[in-house]
Amino acid sequence: MAEILKHAVPKSEVTASLDQVRETVSGVIADIRERGDAAVREYSEKFDNWSPDSFRLSGEEVEKIVASVPEQVIDDIRFVQEQVRSFARQQLASMREFEVETLPGVRLGQKHIPVQAAGAYIPGGRYPLTASAHMTIVTAKVAGVPRVVACTPPIRGEIPAATVAAMHLAGADEIWLLGGVQAVAAMAVGTDTMKPVNLIAGPGNAYVAEAKRQLFGEIGIDLFAGPTEILVLADDHADPFVCAVDLLSQAEHGPDSPAVLITTSREVAEKTIAEVERILPGLPTRDFAAPAWRDHGQVHIVDSIDELYALANEFAFEHVEVLMEAPRLALERMTQYGALFLGEGTCVSFGDKVIGTNHVLPTRGAARYTGGLWVGKYLKTVTYQEVTDTGSQALLGRLCGRASRVELFEGHARSGDVRAAKAAGDELPWNTA
């Protein structure tokens, strides 16, 4: 039996706060549909105090902003983007196009076509997530997307130069200083100045996530996202100090970010809680991390490794960090997660910032049915078929007629009948002409 040393707030409290978000987002989207650019400008002024002559940066403006970024920052951006690009290329190489002859003259095939326009949302606000430009834009470009529109908000009325540099170096075709629901809605429905996109990817706050949810179907999205989550799995070999530091590394994302520890060791559990309480007061981001830990932090003690993995799969968390003697066992035992981080040498922050795998990952239990953003998300896997052999045409035509009439689809049946008639001279008793 699991013992819970630390509980999170009831889910009902979280649900109640989402209702207000849904209502606000719905109103903003409807207004932008109706009034377009005028509404976009009003919401940008209201939420970001930002109303430039043009939200889209010109090529000259981009070059000037990039030139203002320190050389070391540019070098680091290039290095990380190459890690993301390399991994995305490996993913693309794993996706095989093929054509196979299943019967004489019957060819079936599969190919991958990139979406023609993608939107990349790069969060700003308190934390300008420069790395999200790598994850969304680089991956889209590896997939072959010809037009990538990238949006990021200003930060306290200032241009986030490093983020703009990352967007530019990643290959964005359009860079807009526009954030929040207004950016997502403009990319999705289009305005007089922004042509709509086919798919939007990238993380964001609760309002951005809700906007993507409401617009899904009209456009594609990468996945349904919520607050960042971390689940640390630990046995008696784990260092409680490392457990605490890594839990807080994700809690600082926001006051609603869950940070959970499951361990087989009571000593590790108790010492981790003590380390969190020791570190938190001196953490510069404690105004976010402290309420996240207070309201959404959990610590579970289990009796066995089997119970640990069973409970971990129930959580289906975004990030799962395995601080155990045999971390690679998680590759066999874990079935529901966004990304695994194996062993003490591998932290979730590596995945967030530098290692090359994509950090746009499923939250709120979505790992039960999807993985994270990857090159395949920007591709449409389509099929084609061709019948050139008359014998196969007759065979399939007759079969189609019989199968369709079982389902009472006479129109389908007749389409098959015609092929059999053309190929083999079959009669068409229903054709009275």
Structure tokens at 276: 């969190």
Active-site pick, 318, 321, 344, 359: 318
CA 5 to chain centre: 32
User: 387 pairs with which residues across the strands?
Assistant: 106
Structure tokens at 108: 């079936």
Cβ atoms of residues 180 and 207 within 8 Å? yes
Q: Has 319 been annotated as catalytic?
A: yes
Return the closest-CA partner of residue 208 out of 181, 179, 176, 177. 181
Cα-flanking dihedrals φ and ψ of residue 375, to 5°? -60, -30
Question: At which residue do the structure tokens 């790395």 appear?
Answer: 131
Question: What is d(CA 163, CA 140) in angstroms, rounded to the nearest whole number?
Answer: 17
Q: Are strands 259-263 and 297-301 parallel, antiparallel or unpaired?
A: parallel
Which helix (H) or strand (E) element contains residue 323?
A: strand 319-323
Cβ atoms of residues 411 and 128 within 8 Å? no
Active-site pick, 319, 321, 344, 359: 319
Cβ atoms of residues 196 and 117 within 8 Å? yes
Question: At which residue do the structure tokens 């981790």 appear?
Answer: 272
Question: What is d(CA 84, CA 81) in angstroms, rounded to the nearest whole number?
Answer: 5
Question: What is d(CA 149, CA 117) in angstroms, rounded to the nearest whole number?
Answer: 7
Q: Has 318 been annotated as catalytic?
A: yes
Structure tokens at 44: 């940008």
Residue 184: is it exposed, middle or buried by C-beta count within 10 angstroms (0-12/13-18/19+)? buried
> What CA dihedral angle connects 190, 192, 194 and 198, to 10 degrees?
30
Question: What is d(CA 417, CA 428) in angstroms, rounded to the nearest whole number?
Answer: 7
Question: What is d(CA 184, CA 130) in angstroms, rounded to the nearest whole number?
Answer: 18
Question: What is d(CA 200, CA 117) in angstroms, rounded to the nearest whole number?
Answer: 9
Return the closest-CA partner of residue 263 out of 218, 309, 204. 309
Structure tokens at 153: 């908000």
Q: Which amino acid is at 166?
A: A
Rg, C-alpha atoms of the chain: 26
Hey, which residues are catalytic here?
318-319
